[in-house]
């Protein structure tokens, strides 16, 4: 595939993902159709289906985009994020188009499941005394709490949000230190 073709594919996929996120501002996930996305992206259905098999594949691509840009909870609060990624809460505040993902209940659950399956969260994975089910539950707990707080405070001012975030980060940091001891 040449460079121009790769750019066209990336542009088309971007249009489709942005159209989905736009549709999500007005409709629940379960109500969004391929036709809605095509209309908003100004593309034909055949173009959509050349890129994606169905809407859940679009959603997974959006989740992958989000995860590639964010640090996990442990990296963030313990200061071990060597790639300098952004914590989820900050990422959503800086990229408002993604906030709709965390407002729709079905997508929130799907995002948490996707993130748990596709990320390593060393606070759980470093623990050799936990079995896989316990590690998964710990990851779900951390991410669910993070997402809940983000949802509740999406519209909070920067100062208010900053004070919430500092308290939560300190709480998690102290808990991680206790667990490691």
Query: How would you label 30-49 residue by residue, b for 16+ Cβ within 10 Å and e otherwise?
Result: eebebebbbebbebeeeebe
CA distances (Å), origin 115, targets 14, 25, 91: 21, 22, 15
CA distances (Å), origin 165, targets 5, 72, 134, 179: 43, 15, 26, 21
The alpha-helical segments, DSSP class H, found in 96-157 are 105-118, 122-125, 132-152
Q: Can you give the pLDDT at residue 82?
A: 42
Q: Can you give the pLDDT at residue 81?
A: 45
pTM listed for this prediction? 0.80
Q: How confident is the model at residue 70 (pLDDT cuts 50, 70, 90)?
A: confident
52 φ/ψ angles, rounded to the nearest 5 degrees:
-135, 145
Q: How confident is the model at residue 68 (pLDDT cuts 50, 70, 90)?
A: confident
The single-letter DSSP state of residue 36 is H
């Amino acid at each position: 595939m040449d460079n121009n073709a790769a750019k066209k594919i990336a542009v088309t996929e971007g249009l489709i993902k942005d159209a989905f996120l736009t549709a999500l501002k007005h409709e629940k996930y379960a109500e969004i159709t391929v036709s809605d996305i095509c209309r908003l992206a100004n593309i034909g259905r055949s173009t959509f289906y050349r890129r994606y098999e169905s809407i859940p594949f679009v959603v997974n691509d959006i989740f992958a985009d989000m995860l590639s840009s964010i640090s996990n909870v442990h990296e963030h609060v313990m200061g071990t994020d060597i790639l300098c990624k952004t914590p989820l809460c900050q990422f959503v505040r800086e990229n408002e188009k993604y906030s709709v993902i965390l407002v729709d209940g079905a997508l929130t659950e799907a995002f948490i499941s996707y993130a748990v399956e596709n990320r390593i969260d060393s606070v759980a994975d470093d623990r050799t005394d936990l079995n896989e089910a316990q590690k998964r539950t710990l990851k779900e707990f951390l991410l669910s709490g993070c997402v809940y707080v983000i949802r509740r405070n999406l519209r909070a001012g920067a100062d208010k949000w900053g004070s919430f975030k500092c308290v939560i980060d300190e709480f998690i940091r102290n808990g991680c230190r206790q667990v490691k001891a």
